[in-house]
Amino acid sequence: MLDKLNIVQQKFNEVSDLIIQPNIISDQKRYVSLNKDYKELGLIIEKKKLYEELLLNIKEAEDICKNEKDKEMIEMASDELSEAKKKISNLEEEIKFLLIPKDPDDSKNVVIELRAGTGGDEASIFAGDLFRMYTKFCEGRGWKVSLVDANSGTSGGYKEIIFEVSGKDDIYGMLKFESGVHRVQRVPQTETQGRVHTSAATVMVLPEAEEFDVEINMNDVRIDYFCSSGPGGQSVNTTYSAVRLTHTPTGIVAQCQDQKSQHKNKDKALKVLRSRLYELELNKKLEADSLKRNSMVSSGDRSAKIRTYNYPQGRVTDHRIGLTLYDLQNIVNGDIQKIVDELKLVQNSEMLKNSEEVF
């Protein structure tokens, strides 16, 4: 373990030297990448210092137990030795997880797209419930939620809604497991005979691509301006403030009509377009990465049914890891942290088991 940590220390020292070089600071893409490495390696270096302290404590306690004749001193050293060995065992597990190669996209902001699936009006209402659930979860973590585009359902909710989530922490790393088909089982508001119906909505979580992640040739983009049909008042609906971008080579379309400013709508639509193009490359990478492809919590297949919200029984089941929680009301009110933690734990355990380059 110490040999691996010494290699990390060497890498950390190299990054520390590079990050203050003028030619690196002037190269924005390289600087951002190295700054990210510096922070991540710094966390491991903190654990390394603690690990070395515990190794020293163990050696000192063992020396006392071997050479000391005072029974009271030996007893104290024995207790310290037992405690230090327990701590170092737990610390080694922490370090193993920290040494797993991190997904570089985990720290990115995200664009989330929710679409009503099978179930008609009830599916739109459910998509609205999911939007509320994610909004509450994100706001609870201090993240900013910003609407990009929405197409309301005829009886409430949304046929489609797209929004951005930005802030600190690993936003994509936290929300990427939400991609897939979410299913709800409940009596719809429109049901007169009290029968339970099954409806679905699709969730897509895209890492928000930076300009240096995806270079878009604007000559390949057709820009259309139109009147907004969403909320926002008369000035929005009577001016050509809404923007639709079509990437000609791929046929990918992105639009935004949330802002009164045409310029702001264009910027938001460009972010979505960039993220969708980035997703194309990301999916190619996932296809080529057998470790991720074989993971039971992989979010590569958009059509995969990942979770069921059963209202009559008050339960939520995540089908990928067989997790069932009888806490539906709190979960739909934004308390999805336990599900996220369990999914991350399973993925980390799988990566730890399969990562031969680390261990």
Residue in 253, 36, 66, 43 with CA at minimum distance from that of residue 160: 253
Kindly list the distances between the CA atom of residue 254 and the CA atoms of 24, 202, 218, 242, 257, in Å, as whole numbers in the listed order.
34, 17, 14, 11, 11
Sheet containing 144-152: which strands, arranged edge to edge?
144-152, 158-166, 110-116, 197-207, 180-186, 305-310, 315-318, 323-325
- Residue-level pLDDT at 164: 95
Report the C-alpha gap between 124 and 114 in whole angstroms.
10
**CATH of span 218-285:** 3.30.160.20
Q: What separation in angstroms does the CA of 326 have from each of 154, 267, 312, 313, 339?
A: 31, 42, 11, 8, 12
What average pLDDT does this structure show over 71-83? 92
Output the pLDDT for position 236.
Answer: 46
The secondary structure of residue 270, as a DSSP letter, is H
Tokens standing for residue 276: 């969708």
**The one-letter amino acid at 267:** D
**Cα 241 from Cα 261, distance rounded (Å):** 6
Region 287-295 average pLDDT: 53
| pLDDT tens track for 79-137 | 999 999 999 999 988 888 888 877 878 889 999 999 999 888 999 999 999 999 999 99
Q: What pLDDT does residue 159 have?
A: 95
CA distance 164 to 303: 22
Most confident of the ranges 149-158, 252-261, 347-356? 149-158
To the nearest whole percent, how much of the chain has pLDDT over 70? Answer: 89
How confident is the prediction for the chain on average, in pLDDT? 87
Whether 239 has a pLDDT exceeding 90, the answer reads no
Q: What is the pLDDT of residues 148-168, one digit of tens each?
A: 999 999 999 999 999 999 998
Whether pLDDT at 212 is above 70: no
8 A C-beta contact, residue 5 and residue 11: no
Percent of the chain having pLDDT more than 90?
A: 59
The H or E element that residue 255 is part of is: strand 252-256
CB-based contact 163:143 (threshold 8 Å): no
Which CATH number is associated with domain 2-99? 1.20.58
Q: Check residue 345 and give its pLDDT.
A: 86
Q: Which residues pair with 161 in a beta bridge?
A: 114, 150
Question: Would you list the domain boundaries of the chain?
Answer: 2-99, 110-211+297-354, 218-285
Q: Are 156 and 132 in contact (CB under 8 A)?
A: no
232 pLDDT tier (thresholds 50, 70, 90): very low
292 pLDDT above the threshold of 60: no
Alpha helix (H) residue ranges in 100-120:
none
Q: Range with the lowest mean pLDDT among 40-49, 65-74, 227-236?
A: 227-236
Give CA–CA dist 184/196, Å, rounded.
10
Query: How many residues can be counted in the chain?
Result: 359
Split at pLDDT 50, 70, 90, the class of 299 is: very low
312: pLDDT strictly greater than 90? yes
- Helix, coil or strand: residue 111: strand
Residue 324 confidence class, pLDDT cut points 50, 70, 90: very high
pLDDT, one tens digit per residue, over 160-200 is 999 999 998 889 999 999 999 999 999 987 677 889 999 99
Q: What's the CATH number for 110-211+297-354?
A: 3.30.70.1660
Query: Residue 29 class from Cβ within 10 Å (0-12 exposed, 13-18 middle, 19+ buried)?
Result: exposed
Count the Cβ atoms, other than its own, within 10 Å of residue 351.
18
- For residues 35-46, average pLDDT: 90
pLDDT number for residue 285: 66
Mean pLDDT of 50-59: 94
Q: What is the rounded distance in angstroms from the CA atom of residue 208 to the CA atom of residue 106?
A: 10
Mean pLDDT of 69-82: 91
pLDDT of residue 28: 83
Condensed to tens digits (0 to 9), the pLDDT of residues 2-32 reads: 888 988 999 999 999 999 999 998 988 788 8
219 DSSP 8-state letter: G
Q: Quick one: which H or E segment has residue 339?
A: helix 337-354
Strand order in the sheet with 252-256: 221-226, 242-247, 252-256
Q: Which long-range contacts (CB under 8 A, 24 or more apart) does 342-345 make?
A: 342/318, 343/177, 343/297, 343/318, 344/173, 344/174, 344/177
